[in-house]
Homo-oligomer: A and B are copies of this chain.
Amino acid sequence: VSESRFDPLAGEWRTFATARQDRTLLPTAEACPLCPGSADSEVAAPFDIAVFDNRFPAFEAGPPTPAPRSSGVAASKPAVGAAEVVVWSAEHTRSLAELPLEHLERLIEVWAERYADLGRRPEVAYVLIFENKGEAVGATLPHPHGQIYGYPDIPPRVARTLAVARSHLERTGRCIACEVGGFEHTDASRVVSEDRATIAFVPFAPRFPYETRIQPRRHATSLLDLTDPERASLASVLHTVLQAYDQLFGFSLPYVLALHQAPTDEPRWLDVAHLHIEITPPHRASDRIKHLAGSELAAGAFIGDVAPERAAKALRQLVQGPGELPGRVW
Chain A contacts to B: CB under 8 angstroms: 1, 5-18, 20-21, 25, 58, 71, 73-74, 126, 128, 130-132, 137-139, 147, 149, 151, 155-158, 160-161, 164-165, 167-168, 176-177, 179-180, 183, 187, 203-207, 256-258, 260, 278, 280, 284-285, 288-295, 297-310
Contact = CB atoms under 8 A, between A and B. Distances in A.
Given A15-B303, A16-B304, A157-B298, 10 more contacts: A9-B203, A12-B300, A18-B306, A18-B310, A132-B291, A137-B291, A156-B299, A157-B301, A158-B300, A258-B297
Contact of A15 (B18, B149, B284, B301): B301
A interface majority secondary structure:
mixed
9 contacts: A11-B160, A13-B205, A14-B302, A126-B299, A130-B294, A138-B289, A147-B294, A149-B294, A155-B301
Contacts of A161: 9-11
A9 B13 CA distance: 22
Contacts of A307: 1, 16, 18
A289 B139 CA distance: 11
How many identical subunits does the complex contain?
2
A308 B147 CA distance: 25
B14 A164 contact: no
A303 B18 contact: no
Contacts of A9: 161, 164-165, 176-177, 180, 203
A176 B297 CA distance: 21
A204 B5 contact: yes
